[in-house]
């Protein structure tokens, strides 16, 4: 495992070895001779890329953000094709609409996704019977998959290695700096300073820390310390992924990397939330987190709608800091973040709220004038 860079300078350095950081590096390698990923953990995809519901979105999760739903629907088949070896399509995905407190009703939900062409149909009686009909307005069968994050890591490591992209682990960037037309300087903790013509900050929850430490203005972000419960579900729902929309409700679906089901709840998954402040940084949760679980509350509430969950067995909980752009608090959308030349020339910020956003991000990078200039520079 590489812990030291092979060179002092690079064409491009990517900060953050999550899914986005790896995919950005793969794109950059098409144009750059020297590309380096700097990851603070001891392997790739160990944080937010691992600790999530492992859902390959097809839009259904975002009935209140038409653009997010549409982009997911467009990106879904491409992601499934590009990463087919880590895709789990062995279950049926179900979306149920609650009679009360839901921000969308059954008609709105069906109309939204049928209008964009996403597969959706009323569930058969055998599936409807699993729900408490007094609390559920309608139940739909849709097309949505899960991904195995461990297999996804293996795929990405093979692709990075095949292209000669360097990755150093256990390496934390303290700050970046630059003087006029000089390359950007990347200051590592306990390591020599590196330089790069272009830097891509893909550190997700760590984006604002790096900005603040570099004397740059932080972005308006909200953070949630989120709990993902892992459960053994009873046989009637073992081959189902179920999401109850669209308010203070829950979702349970296969979590392939652990051969379990995940369970999240809008009310109980966020254990605390805050807006960015340097003295209350997400970095306080940079180490493994051992906190009391809210899983019992998730299960108790979810059982009201899906009674068979009472026979589930709680196994474990995973905790991670979820990052949300404040402008999406109202519509629950998950657009991409791409800011070029942020505070320093050739310094770009990149983030997305879900895994299939990656294609929108890569397209933005390729279309940006900074990237076109970089291609000419690298070619010369």
pLDDT of res. 286: 65
pLDDT of res. 330: 46
CB 204 within 8 A of CB 351: yes
32 CB-contact burial (10 Å; exposed 0-12 / middle 13-18 / buried 19+): buried
pTM for the structure as a whole: 0.93
pLDDT of res. 334: 55
CA distance 311 to 338: 44
- Phi and psi, residue 79, nearest 5°: -65, -45
CA distance 26 to 60: 29
For 161, half-sphere exposure in the C-beta direction (CA atoms, 13 angstrom radius) is: 9
CA distance 61 to 57: 7
pLDDT of res. 83: 98
- Phi and psi, residue 299, nearest 5°: -65, -45
User: Who's near 45: CB < 8 A, 6+ residues apart?
Assistant: 17, 18, 19, 22, 149, 152, 153, 156
pLDDT of res. 370: 59
Beta bridge partners of 239: none
Q: Give exposure, 303-336, as e/b (b: 16+ Cβ within 10 Å).
A: bebbeebeebeeeebbbbbbbbbeeeeebbbbbb
pLDDT of res. 328: 47
Q: Give exposure, 285-294, as e/b (b: 16+ Cβ within 10 Å).
A: bbeebeeebb
pLDDT of res. 121: 98
pLDDT of res. 289: 63
pLDDT of res. 179: 84
In the chain (380 residues long), the average pLDDT of successive 10-residue segments reads 86 97 96 95 94 95 90 96 98 97 95 96 98 97 98 98 96 92 91 94 94 94 93 97 92 97 96 82 69 94 97 96 71 72 95 88 85 57
pLDDT of res. 244: 97
CA-nearest of 331, 364, 262 to 69 is 331
* Matching residue, tokens 């903790």: 189
pLDDT of res. 291: 82
Give the CA distances from residue 217 to residues 124, 212, 278, 329, in Å, rounded to whole numbers and listed in that order: 53, 6, 11, 21
Give the CA distances from residue 19 to residues 15, 88, 234, 261, 355, in Å, rounded to whole numbers and listed in that order: 12, 18, 32, 22, 8
CA-nearest of 272, 320, 274, 312 to 295 is 312
CA distance 249 to 288: 27
Q: Quick check: helix, strand or coil at residue 233? A: coil
Nearest-Å Rg of the Cα atoms of the chain is 21
Give the CA distances from residue 185 to residues 207, 263, 339, in Å, rounded to whole numbers and listed in that order: 17, 42, 19
CA dihedral 37, 41, 42, 48 (to 10 degrees): -90
pLDDT of res. 247: 82
For 86, half-sphere exposure in the C-beta direction (CA atoms, 13 angstrom radius) is: 19
pLDDT of res. 331: 45
- Phi and psi, residue 341, nearest 5°: 50, 40
pLDDT of res. 376: 58
Torsional class of 44: left (φ above 0), alpha (ψ -120 to 50), beta (otherwise): beta
């Amino acid at each position: 495992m590489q812990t030291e860079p092979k060179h002092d300078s690079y064409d491009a350095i990517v900060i953050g070895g999550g899914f986005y950081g790896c995919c950005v590096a793969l794109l950059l390698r098409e144009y750059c001779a020297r590309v380096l990923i700097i990851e603070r953990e001891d392997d790739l995809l160990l944080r937010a890329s691992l600790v999530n519901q492992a859902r390959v979105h097809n839009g259904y999760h975002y009935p209140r953000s038409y653009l997010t739903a549409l982009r997911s629907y467009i990106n879904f088949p491409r992601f499934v094709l590009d990463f087919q070896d880590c895709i789990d399509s062995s279950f049926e995905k179900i979306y149920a609409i609650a009679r009360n407190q839901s921000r969308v009703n059954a008609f709105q939900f069906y109309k939204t996704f049928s209008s964009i062409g996403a597969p959706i149909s009323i569930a058969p009686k055998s599936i409807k019977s699993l729900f408490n009909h007094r609390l559920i307005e309608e139940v739909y069968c849709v097309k949505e998959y899960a991904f195995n994050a461990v297999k996804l890591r293996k795929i990405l490591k093979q692709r990075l290695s095949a292209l000669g992209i360097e990755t150093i682990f256990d390496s934390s960037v303290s700050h970046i700096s630059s003087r006029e037309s000089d390359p950007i300087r990347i200051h590592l903790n306990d390591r020599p300073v590196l330089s790069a013509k272009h830097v891509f900050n893909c550190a997700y929850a760590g984006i604002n820390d790096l900005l603040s430490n570099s004397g740059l203005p932080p972005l308006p972000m909200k953070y949630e310390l989120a709990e993902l419960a892992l459960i053994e579900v009873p046989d009637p729902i073992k081959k189902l992924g179920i999401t109850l929309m669209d308010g203070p409700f829950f979702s349970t679906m296969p979590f392939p990397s652990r051969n379990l089901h995940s369970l999240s709840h809008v009310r109980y998954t966020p254990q605390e939330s805050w807006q960015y402040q340097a003295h209350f940084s997400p970095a306080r949760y940079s180490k493994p987190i051992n906190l009391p679980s809210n899983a019992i509350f998730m299960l108790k509430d979810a059982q009201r709608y899906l009674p068979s969950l009472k026979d589930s067995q709680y196994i474990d909980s995973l905790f991670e800091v979820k990052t949300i752009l404040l402008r999406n608090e109202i519509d629950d959308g998950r657009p991409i973040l791409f800011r070029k030349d942020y505070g320093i020339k050739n310094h770009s910020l990149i983030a997305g709220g879900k895994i299939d956003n990656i294609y929108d991000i890569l397209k933005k990078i390729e279309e940006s004038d900074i990237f076109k200039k970089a291609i000419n520079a690298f070619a010369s």
